[in-house]
Copies of this chain bind each other. A is one copy, B any other.
Amino acid sequence: MVSQVERDYAAYVSERGSRAGDALITDPTASANYISFIYGFPDSESLPAGSVTETTHRVLTENPIWALQYGAVNGPKPIREAILAKLKRDQGISASMDEIIVTAGSSQAIQLITHLLVDPGDTIIAESPTFLGFFDDVRNSGAHIAGIEVDDEGIRVDLLEQELVALREQGVRPSFLYLLPNYQNPTGACTTLERRKRIVELAEEFDTLIIEDDAYFDLRYEGEALPTIYSLDPNGRTLYLGTLSKTLAAGFRIGWVVGPAPIIRRIASLKTDGGTNIFGSFIAASWLPEHFERHVDELRRIYGQRRNLMLSALEAHMPEGATWSVPTGGFFVWLTLPEGIDSGGMLAQAREMGIEYLPGSACFFDHSGGNHIRLSFSFARDEVIDEGIRRLGDLIRSELAESISG
């Protein structure tokens, strides 16, 4: 008899399971111990505990049954209606009730879309760097990523076209383009209108689909919102992903896909989870019309100020040779250090100094980009940002000195 500790379960696992490997399970609450620039966590102080409590009381008084019962896999009617109303008002997106499905954040949306569209060996085109949460789905699916460089104006559409041509010459049609046009995670770049239009043209010309992941749409600190790729696409090639994680609360795990009804129905068929947080969906549906706009106004003020504090701190404390992006929205500043710096190797020392950040290599599928750092300004309180960046500057200076003397 083999005890469960000794047993090697690999023999029982599917191909997908083999690719998945062991999870690195992190405990987000540990970040409370640092001046933390590591995760795209919302500001903790402004989380709307009061209005959520009030709304829960109201929902369970008015609707004590269906908020606690089983619900539809695509989301209860009230939450789909509330999200569609918000999308129409803010994003200018008009979609019908059968063109939306509620998911556990946009994370589950990406998971389901990958299941729907990707076979092992397929190719996905993504910005490089991109959202690291996407990589587990790519790895589990067995797909390749073709990464396209991002600059201050978003994804380089000239390089995108070159890649599409090269793939076509190899007989490869990519499964989809995975794009974050607004305040891209991790670079903070906002894709220009001209490039958004070009992306739509290229998707049509090369017969592929677009996944537009727009987690940060509402968190714009200057300028005017650009049209979504979804709105610019007359061809039904775009799936539009959003989330309440950055505006209501990440703990609700409520996101969505908006797209053509046939695609939504197939996603529903793969979404065998009995529906997403039905209880929270009813609360969110009631919270959105009453609190969303005012709350997002407050968040824009908080995060806009925090971004400014971080940019000033970088000016004050970064050594020569360091450069960084100036995002017009979202949560992230992308810091570029001189070549040769290994920001991943520095992290343990950073934590000893009481700070943490995301090594840039985590945002590249091939783990390159070791001289980059993603700095999230959303989670650290105003009064510690300067101190945190000062410590980071000191750490980088000592690394640079070592690399010169070494």
Contact = CB atoms under 8 A, between A and B. Distances in A.
A222 interface: no
A395 interface: no
Nearest to A3: B236
Interface string A16-56: 11001111011111000000000101101001111011001
A14 interface: yes
A140 B105 contact: no
A235 B1 contact: yes
Contacts of A273: 103-105, 107-108, 111, 253
A266 B105 contact: no
Contacts of A48: 68
A28 B280 contact: no
Interface string A98-113: 0000011101101100
A64 interface: yes
Given A68-B52, A235-B2, A253 B269 contact: no
A347 to B, nearest CB: 19
A301 interface: no
Given A53-B56, A251-B279, A29 B104 contact: no
A276 interface: yes
A337 interface: no
Contacts of A53: 56-57, 60-61
Contact of A277 (B21, B22, B66, B280): B280
Given A4-B260, A25-B268, A12 B117 contact: yes
A61 B263 CA distance: 41
B117 A20 contact: no
A136 interface: yes
B22 A262 contact: yes
Interface stretch (A71-79, A164-172, A289-297): A71-79
Nearest to A22: B265
Most buried by B among A16, A41, A66, A70: A70
Contact of A67 (B21, B251, B276): B251
B104 A249 contact: no
A136 B251 contact: no
A137 interface: yes
Contacts of A117: 12-14, 17
A272 B111 contact: yes
Contacts of A250: 68-70, 274, 278
A89 interface: no
25 contacts: A1-B234, A7-B262, A9-B266, A12-B209, A13-B266, A14-B116, A14-B117, A17-B270, A25-B74, A28-B72, A29-B69, A47-B68, A49-B67, A49-B68, A52-B60, A67-B251, A70-B250, A107-B272, A110-B272, A111-B273, A133-B274, A140-B270, A252-B278, A253-B277, A277-B280
Interface of A: 1-5, 7, 9, 12-17, 20-23, 25-29, 39, 41-42, 44, 47-50, 52-53, 56-57, 60-61, 64-74, 77, 103-105, 107-108, 110-111, 115-119, 122, 133, 136-137, 140, 175-176, 204, 208-209, 234-236, 245, 249-253, 260, 262-263, 265-266, 268-280, 282
Given A68-B251, A107-B272, A107-B274, 19 more contacts: A1-B235, A9-B260, A13-B116, A14-B115, A14-B116, A14-B122, A16-B116, A21-B269, A23-B74, A25-B74, A27-B72, A47-B68, A52-B60, A104-B104, A104-B274, A136-B269, A140-B272, A252-B278, A277-B279
